[in-house]
């Protein structure tokens, strides 16, 4: 379905958000209660690897709440055909709700199904690797893992259910990826606001969105290291809880209503470099933020640099790709990224030469 907000223009400001965001330790078993507020039947779209972690709890929770539950495993391949494939697998059934559980791709697969069938949506992240759970958009790829399209739901999710005990058991490197994705939102929202950029609602950013993006950054600078240290333990500390709220809720609201810029634009070109396509999205964005700082002639703060080093985020393209970088690699990234709409969300026009020069400076900086 096409979002009616596409009619908006640069004269308007729009703020969007999920209807409910619920975060807490061990709240997976409350999902049925939330679903019952939306309808009487649901379909669970989940990563095949994640399904054993959530299936039985969700079945019991939905049954107790009077909600029938059908299960559709997600293969992990997210293409423009995925939504229709899931719809075909669902058959002629007409559930009221999609429960999308897993990482970013599984949640986007659930969004694709909800889009095609015009269903209510509950997102249930099982890893804090990105801010997809709160937003209306979903990303599709080709068979070579290249991003080909970003589609939009008519509305944001009805519920975002964040079980921090579940997230605290996920791999540490995925938590690092979530940090990398979220840390860019302050700089991107500021760039969009200071220029003539448009947000995911094709409108100008609100002041509130920029404030949220800034609070996201400040929260992660304060709690990010301790939260990373707790990741993978299964024990969500207070620092972990604070960081998760920043990485999922604040980052999601900040990017969607505040705008994206250079760091996310570069993720269109970076996968063209051997070794990068399979690196987590958040690691690519973290490198993009380093380039963004160079374009702004504004060095990364010592606190941000320390956080990068502590959690292992890439500080140059060589560390992201895992091999030496040649100038032609930089040109390839710049040429593939320059036409991305996010690149326009910058205080001044950015050229290919500007991007290459900024990336050269990032590669030359002390490791």
pLDDT exceeds cutoff 50 at 5: no
Domain boundary among 168, 183, 214: 168
pLDDT at 227 over 90: yes
Same domain, 186 and 164: no
Q: What is the pLDDT of residue 177?
A: 97
Query: What is the pLDDT, as a whole number, of residue 10?
Result: 61
User: Model confidence over 47-60: pLDDT tens digits?
Assistant: 888 899 999 999 99
- Taking alpha carbons only, the member of 13, 47, 68, 76 closest to residue 208 is 13
Confidence band (pLDDT; 50, 70, 90) for 3? very low
Q: Could you report the per-residue pLDDT of 114-165, keeping only the tens digit for each?
A: 999 999 999 999 999 999 999 999 999 888 778 888 999 999 999 999 999 9
The mean pLDDT value of the chain amounts to: 94
> pLDDT tier at 171 (50, 70, 90 boundaries)?
very high
Residues 160, 213 within the same domain: no
Residue 9: its pLDDT value, please? Answer: 54
pTM, full prediction: 0.94
Residue 248, helix vs strand vs coil? helix
Q: Domain ends where: 168, 196, 213?
A: 168
Same domain, 8 and 128: yes
Alpha-helical (H) ranges within 231-351 are 238-244, 251-258, 262-265, 281-295, 302-311, 317-321, 327-337
In a shared domain, residues 163 and 206: no
Q: In the predicted model, is pLDDT for residue 8 greater than 70?
A: no
The domain boundary, picked from 168, 188, 206, lies at 168
The Cα–Cα gap between 236 and 124 comes to 17
**Facing residues of 20 across strands?**
159
pLDDT tier for residue 2 given thresholds of 50, 70 and 90: very low
pLDDT of residue 362: 95
Rounded Cα–Cα distance for residues 308 and 287 (Å): 10
What are the tens digits of pLDDT across the range 94-119? 899 999 999 999 999 999 999 999 99
Element (H, E) at 224: helix 207-230
Q: Specify whether 164 is located in the same domain as 176.
A: no
Enter the DSSP assignment of 58.
Answer: H
Residues above pLDDT 90, as percent of the chain? 89
| Residue that has been written with the tokens 């997976």 in this structure | 28
**Location of structure tokens 């939504």:** 83
Looking at the fold, whether 274 and 290 belong to one and the same domain comes out as: yes
The tens digit of pLDDT for each residue in 61-92 reads: 999 999 999 999 998 889 999 999 999 999 88
Say what the pLDDT of residue 1 is.
42
DSSP strand pairing (147-152 vs 137-141) = antiparallel
- Please give the Cα distance from 291 to 295 (Å, whole number): 6
Question: Nearest Cα to 268, choosing from 175, 150, 160, 180?
Answer: 150
Residues with Cβ within 8 Å of 37's Cβ and at least 6 positions away in sequence, in order, are: none
In which residue are the tokens 């809720």 written? 249
Q: How many domains does the chain have?
A: 2
- 9 & 157 share domain: yes
Give 30's DSSP letter: G
Same domain membership, residue 145 and residue 206? no
Residue 214 φ/ψ region, left for φ over 0, alpha for ψ in the -120 to 50 degree band, beta for the rest: alpha
- Domain extent at residue 201: 172-364
What is the DSSP code string of 72-116?
EEE-S---TTHHHHHHHHHTT---SEEEEEESHHHHHHHHHHHHH
Are 323 and 274 in contact by the 8 Å Cβ rule? The answer is yes
Cβ atoms of residues 214 and 241 within 8 Å:
no
CATH code for position 71: 3.40.50.1970
* pLDDT score for 4: 44
- Cα maximum dimension of the chain: 60
Q: Encode pLDDT of 305-349 as tens digits.
A: 999 999 999 999 999 999 999 999 999 999 999 999 999 999 999
104 & 233 share domain: no
* Residue range 258-267: mean pLDDT, rounded: 97
Residue 263: predicted pLDDT = 97
Same domain membership, residue 297 and residue 177? yes
CA distance 229 to 133: 23
Report the CATH number that the domain containing residue 185 is assigned in CATH. Answer: 1.20.1090.10
Please tell me whether residues 50 and 198 are part of one structural domain. no
Contact 52, 106 (CB under 8 A): no
Residues 183 and 322 in one domain: yes
Q: Is 310 helix (H, G, I), strand (E, B) or coil?
A: helix
């Amino acid at each position: 379905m096409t979002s009616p907000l596409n009619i908006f223009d640069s004269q308007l400001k729009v703020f969007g958000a999920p209807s409910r965001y619920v975060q807490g330790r061990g709240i997976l078993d409350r999902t049925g209660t939330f679903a019952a507020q939306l309808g009487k039947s649901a379909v669970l779209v989940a990563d095949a690897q994640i399904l054993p972690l959530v299936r039985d709890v969700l079945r019991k929770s939905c049954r107790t709440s009077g909600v029938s539950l059908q299960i559709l495993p997600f293969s992990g391949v997210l293409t423009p055909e995925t939504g229709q494939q899931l719809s075909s697998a669902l058959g002629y059934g007409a559930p009221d709700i999609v429960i999308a559980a897993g990482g970013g791709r599984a949640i986007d697969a659930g969004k694709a199904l909800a889009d095609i069938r015009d269903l209510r949506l509950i997102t249930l992240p099982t890893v804090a690797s990105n801010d997809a759970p709160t937003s209306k958009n979903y990303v599709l790829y080709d068979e070579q893992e290249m991003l080909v399209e970003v589609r939009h739901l008519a509305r944001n999710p009805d519920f975002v259910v964040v079980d921090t005990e579940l997230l605290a058991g996920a791999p540490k490197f995925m938590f690092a990826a979530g940090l990398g994705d979220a840390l860019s939102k302050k700089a991107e929202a500021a760039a969009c606001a200071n220029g003539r950029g448009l947000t995911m609602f094709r409108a100008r950013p609100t002041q509130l969105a920029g404030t949220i993006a800034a609070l996201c950054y400040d929260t992660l600078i304060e709690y990010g290291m301790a939260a990373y240290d707790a990741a993978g333990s299964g024990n969500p500390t207070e620092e972990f809880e604070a960081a998760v709220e920043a990485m999922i809720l604040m980052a999601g609201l900040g990017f969607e209503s505040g705008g994206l810029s250079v760091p996310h634009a570069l993720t269109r070109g970076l996968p063209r470099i051997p070794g990068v396509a399979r690196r987590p999205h958040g690691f690519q964005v973290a490198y993009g933020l380093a380039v963004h700082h160079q374009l702004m002639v504004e060095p990364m703060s010592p606190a941000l640099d320390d956080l990068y080093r502590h959690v292992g985020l890439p500080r140059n393209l060589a560390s992201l790709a895992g091999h030496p970088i040649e100038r032609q690699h930089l040109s390839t990234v710049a040429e593939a990224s320059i036409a991305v709409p996010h690149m326009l969300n910058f205080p001044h026009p950015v050229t290919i030469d500007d991007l290459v020069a900024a990336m050269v400076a990032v590669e030359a900086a002390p490791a």
